[in-house]
Amino acid sequence: MNPENQNSVSLNKFISETGLCSRREADKLIASGKVLLNGVVAQLGNRVSQGDEVRVLGKILGKKDPTEWVYLAFNKPVGVICTTDQMVKGNIIDYIQYPERIFPIGRLDKPSEGLILLTSDGDIVNKILRADNKHEKEYIVSVDKPITREFVHKMANGLPVLGKKTLPCVVEKLGTHTFKIILNQGLNRQIRRMCEYLDYNVTSLKRIRIMNIHLHPLKSGEWRLLQKREIDQLKKHLKHSKKTID
């Protein structure tokens, strides 16, 4: 393999494009010595050119045709866990039972519900998840106390979460105890932590949109394949998004 070959791609990207896993998971497989490149234990940063043989856990991988990638939207019920580990009871993979290997793009907490995307296209995952890319996600949230003007103002203008201040966001009061929030970052349990900082507890949290993909009309527990126009628009949004180096 010639590392200078301009037609080569990074090993983690090659693995993700087979639909086996995301780039991040591919890096873990490589680092643990479970990937062979042309019969030699692969290293992080290796590149793959045409004619190279890649084996993961003894299985030869072939690059998947992009037209075969799967993209679906799922209305996750409360209680379903966003993990591909099928040893975990209530995992999202067993719940959906899709016939091909897919994995969730990001996660929703077990007590949360609503829209989550799943795919076999590992290359798209980092583009959507990286906080720097500022892709919109919209939620409907209910809390345990009446929502005040001060609460809305502080939520919208940023609060300390996990050692950093959250980015400004759109917050709209919908009812006495319910509000809409549109985030363009994705810190761990961000909305719940923001509410807790203001001495509110979240009683329900539903994600209703990720970028151009909407939850409606899916009922709880239902999923659907994305339409071509949705996929095209999604990829258009992601065109200039940062990702790991090829």
Of all helices (H) and strands (E), which one includes residue 94? Answer: helix 92-96
Cα 240 to Cα 246: distance, rounded to the nearest angstrom: 14
6: Cβ–Cβ under 8 A, 6 or more apart, which residues?
none
Alpha helices of 18-57 — where are they, by DSSP H? Answer: 23-31
- Please pick, among 27, 52, 109, 121, the residue that the annotation labels catalytic: 109
Q: Which residue has the tokens 């379903």?
A: 80
Name the strand (E) or helix (H) holding 61.
none
Catalytic site residue 27?
Answer: no
* Euclidean distance between CA atoms 211 and 128, whole angstroms: 9
What CA–CA distance (Å, rounded) separates 56 from 143?
Answer: 46
How many angstroms separate the CA atoms of 21 and 32, rounded? 15
Residue pair 82/92 in contact (Cβ under 8 Å)? The answer is yes
Contact 9, 37 (CB under 8 A): no
Nearest Cα neighbor of 117 from 3, 230, 246 is 230
Query: Are 175 and 143 spatial neighbours (Cβ–Cβ below 8 Å)?
Result: no
* Greatest distance between any 2 Cα atoms in the chain: 64
Active-site residue set: 109
